[in-house]
């Protein structure tokens, strides 16, 4: 064939004495600077890349160096212990409790001596002021003074009426010239009020004025109890005396004869046993 004649035949085997061509030659290592490194030479160590200098930072104050704790000297410790021992006071010895009144002297009154002959000394006399003493003296003088000088018109037809109250008792009183008798609901004073204490309380206003034997008392009482009726009668007599002589008001008021005692029993409420007493609560 022509093609076969024209092209030289390729020998199947390569001629001896020649090295086979490398099909794929490895890329030779390139040294720095662009020049290939010599074959067979050992690999040169790679130079480290140049690091960029760090940016300058703001100056920070240096941290204080930790100081080592100084161990206390043994001598100083011993001195401190001695000082503490000196500061501590020794415990006080236990004392026996004192007997109350042991220091008092025995007060013995010899025979033939009157212990009440001399007035006892008041330890609080120097602390007392003059004002309370003066007030007490005035009160005592008022009580000891007895009747007050009063001028009341005791004409034949004079009548002085007033109403007295205490708690729930009411007394309608009439004063008239007389011999000092008391007529209460048509009965005498001793019959209506058997207690002597109540009788004295009722007579106080007229005895204070000095007309206990020159005026008669006629009264009608209702409501309240025995004691409250006696208080209402005394209140009514005092008011009737003011009708006769208004200038007696100060003295009667100071002695408490014109004071209205308004205390009264409180009414019972619905649902309660008394005014405020409630029934016992039962849970079951």
One-letter-per-residue 3-state SS of 203-227: HHHHHHHCCCCCEEEEEEEECCCHH
What's the number of domains the chain is made of? 1
Q: Is 66 within the bounds of a domain?
A: no
Q: Is 265 within the bounds of a domain?
A: no
The confidence band for 187, taking pLDDT boundaries of 50, 70 and 90, is: very high
The confidence band for 186, taking pLDDT boundaries of 50, 70 and 90, is: very high
Query: Taking the CB of residue 2, how many other CB atoms lie within 10 A of it?
Result: 6
Three-state secondary structure of 29-52 = CECCCCCECCCCCCCCCCCCCCCC
Average pLDDT over residues 61-88: 61
Q: Is 206 within the bounds of a domain?
A: yes
Q: Is 173 within the bounds of a domain?
A: yes
Average pLDDT over residues 129-157: 60
Kindly report the average pLDDT of the chain as a whole number.
75
The confidence band for 110, taking pLDDT boundaries of 50, 70 and 90, is: confident
Question: What are the tokens at 213?
Answer: 């034997």
pTM score, whole prediction: 0.48
Containing domain of residue 220, as a range? 160-254
Average pLDDT over residues 30-39: 48
Q: Is 148 within the bounds of a domain?
A: no
Q: Is 270 within the bounds of a domain?
A: no
CATH of residue 206: 3.30.230.10
Q: Is 52 within the bounds of a domain?
A: no
Residue 275 or 154, more confident: 275
Average pLDDT over residues 66-70: 55
Q: Is 136 within the bounds of a domain?
A: no
Instruction: Give the three-state DSSP class for 187.
Output: strand
Rounded CA-CA distance 16/104 in Å is: 153
Average pLDDT over residues 155-159: 81
Q: Is the pLDDT of residue 102 over 80?
A: no
- H/E stretch holding 186 reads none
Handedness of CA 48, 54, 59, 65 (dihedral sign): negative
């Amino acid at each position: 064939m022509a093609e076969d004649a024209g092209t030289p035949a390729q020998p199947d085997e390569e001629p001896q004495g020649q090295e086979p061509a490398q099909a794929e030659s490895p890329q030779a290592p390139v040294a720095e600077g662009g020049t290939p490194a010599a074959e067979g030479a050992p690999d040169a160590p790679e130079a480290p890349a140049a690091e960029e200098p760090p940016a300058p930072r703001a100056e920070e104050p240096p941290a204080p160096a930790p100081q080592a704790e100084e161990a206390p000297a043994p001598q100083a410790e011993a001195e401190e212990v001695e000082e503490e021992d000196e500061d501590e006071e020794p415990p006080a010895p236990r004392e026996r409790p004192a007997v109350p009144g042991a220091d008092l002297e025995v007060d013995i009154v010899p025979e033939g001596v009157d212990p009440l002959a001399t007035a006892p000394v008041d330890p609080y006399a120097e602390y007392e002021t003059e004002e309370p003493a003066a007030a007490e003296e005035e009160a005592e003088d008022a009580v000891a003074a007895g009747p007050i000088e009063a001028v009341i018109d005791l004409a034949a037809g004079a009548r002085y009426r007033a109403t007295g109250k205490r708690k729930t008792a009411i007394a309608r009183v009439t004063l008239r010239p007389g011999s000092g008798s008391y007529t209460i609901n048509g009965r005498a004073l001793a019959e209506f009020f058997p207690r002597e204490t109540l009788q004295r309380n009722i007579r106080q206003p007229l005895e204070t004025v000095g007309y206990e034997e020159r005026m008669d008392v006629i009264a009608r009482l209702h409501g309240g109890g025995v004691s409250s009726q006696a208080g209402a009668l005394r209140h009514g007599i005092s008011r009737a005396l003011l009708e006769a002589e208004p200038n007696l008001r100060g003295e009667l008021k100071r002695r408490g004869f014109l004071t209205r005692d308004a205390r009264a029993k409180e009414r019972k409420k619905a649902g309660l046993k008394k005014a405020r007493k409630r029934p016992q609560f039962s849970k079951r």
